[in-house]
Amino acid sequence: MRIAVAGGTGVVGSRTVQALRAEGHDAVALSRRTGVDLTTGAGLDAALDGVDAVVDTANVSTLSADAAIRFFETATGNLVAAAARAGVGHVVLLSIVGIDRMPHDYYAGKLAQERVVEAAAVPWTILRATQFHEFAGQLFDRAKLGPLHVAPRARVQPVAARDVGTHLAALAAAAPQGRVPDLAGPREEAMDEMVKAFARHTGHRGWIPSVSLPGAQMKAMRAGLALPGAGAVLATQTFSDWLRELA
């Protein structure tokens, strides 16, 4: 099959492309680097010519609900419209576990994105996955009180980006299924302990206190609302396995 991956040079998109090629598929990475701009639609029609399925892993970095909604409605709207014009038979969207339970501006954009796919003329599959193992490193870099790194408390069940890519590749090669079971890592983890373990891995030796950050999103994560639902598919790589692999 010829399968296009929007955001195909990103953390999950690149792994989806690798997994597809490992299974013998013709995988096409769609990104600005490859001449495709989802926000304007430039290059999409040519890129989707002859494509059987599309995987959408495209992302935006923003804490604004308006910006997130605008990006996802525009980018994914352009993608599914071009897919319909090209006669693509299947669109697969990567989404996030808990976006309908946790108040967060970025998640408002992901919910809007899901609605775009659900209303598309192309048959679809939506997979919600939990936070990636890489999330610990992102929080280590971002969660600071002045020069002091802090470790936010939260309940999470992180999954390897590689496992998400493999799962998306399998879904894209299969028939459209609508909303499929959540994908999560093999076990629940404490986010503050993950951040501290990542810091030690990088050689950081300073004190990193555990903190309960304010805000509705972090309160919801401490309550476990980011955990997968019943019947979730569990991947195999633990956070500890991932850290050892980094080494």
At 145, the amino acid letter reads: L
Whole-prediction pTM value? Answer: 0.94
**Residue 63 confidence (pLDDT):** 81
Whole-angstrom distance between the N-terminal and C-terminal Cα of the chain? 35
Distances (CA, A) of 114 to 7, 74, 76, 188, 204: 16, 12, 9, 26, 39
Token output for 30:
């769609």
**Residue 62 confidence (pLDDT):** 86
Give the integer Cα–Cα distance in Å for 165 and 160: 9
Per-residue model confidence as pLDDT tens digits over 54-97? 999 999 988 899 999 999 999 999 999 999 999 999 999 999 99
Per-residue model confidence as pLDDT tens digits over 38-54? 999 999 999 999 999 99
**Residue 230 confidence (pLDDT):** 87
Q: Is the pLDDT of residue 177 over 80?
A: yes
**Residue 98 confidence (pLDDT):** 95
Give the integer Cα–Cα distance in Å for 6 and 38: 8
**Residue 229 confidence (pLDDT):** 86
CB 126 within 8 A of CB 117: yes
**Residue 247 confidence (pLDDT):** 76
